[in-house]
Structure 1
């Protein structure tokens, strides 16, 4: 019963003959844009959002790489 209802709803979306399955692409584009908007603008506890967390983690990774390179350079120069 549900699959029949879903089939009827999906068949009512225009453009089936011309675009086939691709007629749903604008819907997915809009959903993706809404997800991206929410990740950028919605904050948890007015402090943290997805991009803040990503930038912080990326900065920590870069700092570790720089620190490792500096300690390696110091150990090489002190051994000579």
Structure 2
């Protein structure tokens, strides 16, 4: 176990910018990983769907259900 932790420690210590940026020197890695994840969610499709089509469909369904709820609630208030 100590072999892996010393390897990881050496790898992290060898990353440039330690004195100037400290822990924040790893931020560019996370920005790139986030951009890659976003790119994959937009462009990769499985069958006929991808993340954004599913998200938009769910948003539309929620909107319709909310409108129906409000319409039913208004009808109940008019009856009372």
Query: Normalising by the residue count of structure 1, what TM-score does the alignment of the two structures yield?
Result: 0.90
Equivalents in 2 of 1:75, 1:22: separation in Å? 57
Look up the match of 1:34: 36
Question: Structure 2: which 5+ residue stretches go unaligned?
Answer: none
Alignment of 1:52-71 (within 5 A): 52-71=53-72
Q: How does 1:1-80 map to 2 (within 5 A)?
A: 1-45=3-47, 47-77=48-78, 79=79
What stretches of structure 1 move > 6 A for 4+ residues in a row? none
TM-score (norm 2): 0.90
Aligned length, in residue pairs: 78
* Structure 1: segments with no counterpart, 5+ residues: none
